[in-house]
Amino acid sequence: MAFDWHSEPLDRHTQVTPDYRNTQNVRRFLTAQCGPTFTFNREFMAWIRNDTQKTLGDVADEWQRRHGHS
């Protein structure tokens, strides 16, 4: 069964799966991790889906690295 990105509980250990979606659930999680200035952009969304194994913690850390919040 595919992971439901709309309603499943998310944490830093949640694996980004091939059926990953940028849902409001994901946006809420990443805003909580990265702060109120969190946004998606095309380049970042492409990085999330680049077929490299990662977790949502890795995604949050990468966003913070790219935006000088390390």
Whether residue 61 has pLDDT greater than 70: yes
Q: Which of 30, 54, 53 is nearest to 40 (CA)?
A: 30
Q: Percent of the chain, pLDDT > 70?
A: 99
Cα–Cα distance for residue pair 5/21, rounded to 1 Å: 6
Q: What's the pLDDT score for residue 50? A: 95
pLDDT of 69: 73
Note the pLDDT of residue 24: 97
Measured distance CA(5)–CA(19) in Å, rounded: 9
The Cα-based distances of 52 to 17, 41, 69 in angstroms read 10, 18, 23
Tell if the pTM clears 0.85, that is, is over it.
yes
Model confidence pLDDT, tens digit, residues 12-37: 999 999 999 999 999 999 999 999 99
